[in-house]
Amino acid sequence: KAFNLQHKIQTDARTVIRALQHRTNLIAQINEAPVPILDTLGGIAVAMAILYAGLRSSYGGYDVGTFMSFLTALLLAADPGRRISQLRVNLRKSLIGVRMVYTLLDEHDDEPVGGGASVSGGNLDITFSGVKFAYRDGVDIVHAVDLHVKPGEILALVGPSGAGKSTILNLLLKLYEPGAGQIMIGGVEIRDWSTSALRANIAYVGQSNFIFSGTVRENLCLSLGEISDARLDEVCESVGLTGFIAGLQQGYDTQIGELGSSISGGQAQRLNIARAILKDAPILLLDEATSALDAENEALVKSYVAAQRGKKTMIIIAHRLSTVRNADKIAVLDNGVLTAAGRHSELLASNVYYNKVVSLQLTG
């Protein structure tokens, strides 16, 4: 309603409903088309049988018992004949279902042959060597990217929208497979990592602050098992959630609705950040993780990031200068190409795009 899209959505819905109605009617027509023909043929067959039997009976060829047995057998054969006529339609329906099942079965398993590597404990470095990635249209989203993030280092990715920043994180999470090049995590090629082990070593906060249907506690803990209220209090305080939790009638056991329907965008974002902090993984990926936060709560998150310097390997995507300027290294991406990398002061002196972004934020 806020975008005044009621008419468009209603029109689109009507189009889909009409298409569904047309297909449903078509199936019904195919199903029912043979029925009148078969009924007519069956009626003619019965009439012919009665006429023939009557003529034979008049000449003493059939007795009543034989005639009734023949007529009963003829009528009993009508129903199987009717069902045979539906065989083609039912077979087509079944083939569609079979095709869908085999398409699902033919999907490649995420896990590599042999179960994959499993590395945990300590800081992990990240290396991109000539990495390329393209969607099915063949246009490179990431083009020959070379990057190295040392253990415990903070890398910030900056660039215009669509530059390939989020794709870099998706490649690290094995949501996408690189088309060329090599990604190494902790000295192990990413294809050799088991998917479950890799993601267990990564805490991720994305642009869409996904909230599951359930309680605050369930959303914070997810697959982490039982976590004490004292630990939850500590983490929630670090991201400015203490007042929010205190205001809930049932505290951590309060239901927050499907997709967090009963909380604000900023609260949902802080819950996602708290979830990542609780996971305490050696790699932390933040994709516009503070975009919905006010200055006070953003400062709390930045304090946490600063405190984890040297303890976690971090990659941060952000448009705000205040979030990226203190990173150990800043990489500038444009149309999937790594155009520059260095510290804030170095890029300010050498990179036109970065200089422009800084100037706009300082003057705007």
Three-class DSSP category at 153: coil
Q: How far apart are CA 362 and CA 253, in angstroms?
A: 43
- Mean pLDDT is highest, among 51-60, 98-107, 314-323, for 314-323
Q: What is the DSSP string of 7-59?
A: HHHHHHHHHHHHHHHHHHHHHHHHHHTHHHHHHHHHHHHHHHHHHHHHHHHHT
Q: How far apart are CA 78 and CA 75, in angstroms?
A: 5
Token output for 268:
């949902």
CA-nearest of 193, 21, 209 to 110 is 193
For 130-167, the pLDDT digits (tens) are: 999 988 767 788 888 999 999 999 999 988 888 888 99
Answer CATH for 126-363 from 3.30.110.40, 3.40.50.2300, 3.40.50.300, 1.10.287.130 = 3.40.50.300
Beta strands 188-189 and 180-185 are: antiparallel
User: Where do the structural domains in the chain lie, given as residue ranges?
Assistant: 33-105, 126-363
Average pLDDT over residues 170-179: 90
Beta strands 313-317 and 283-287 are: parallel
Element (H, E) at 300: helix 295-307
Three-class DSSP category at 325: coil
pTM summary value: 0.70
pLDDT of residue 290: 75
Q: What is the DSSP string of 227-269?
A: --HHHHHHHHHHTT-HHHHHTSTTGGG-B--GGGTTS-HHHHH
Token output for 271:
């819950």
Phi and psi of 313, rounded to 5°?
-85, 125
Q: What is the DSSP string of 64-101?
A: HHHHHHHHHHHHHHHHHHHHHHTHHHHHHHHHHHHHHH
Q: What is the DSSP string of 334-358?
A: ETTEEEEEE-HHHHHHH-HHHHHHH
- The model's confidence at residue 2, banded by pLDDT at 50, 70 and 90, is very low
pLDDT higher at 82 or 184: 184
Q: What percent of the chain has pLDDT over 70?
A: 86
pLDDT of residue 114: 44
Average pLDDT over residues 233-250: 87
Q: What's the first-to-final CA gap in the chain, in angstroms?
A: 31
* C-alpha torsion angle, residues 297, 327, 274, 169 (rounded to 10): 130
Q: How far apart are CA 105 and CA 102, in angstroms?
A: 5
pLDDT of residue 109: 59
Q: How many residues does the chain have?
A: 364
Model confidence at 116: pLDDT above 50: yes
pLDDT of residue 364: 54
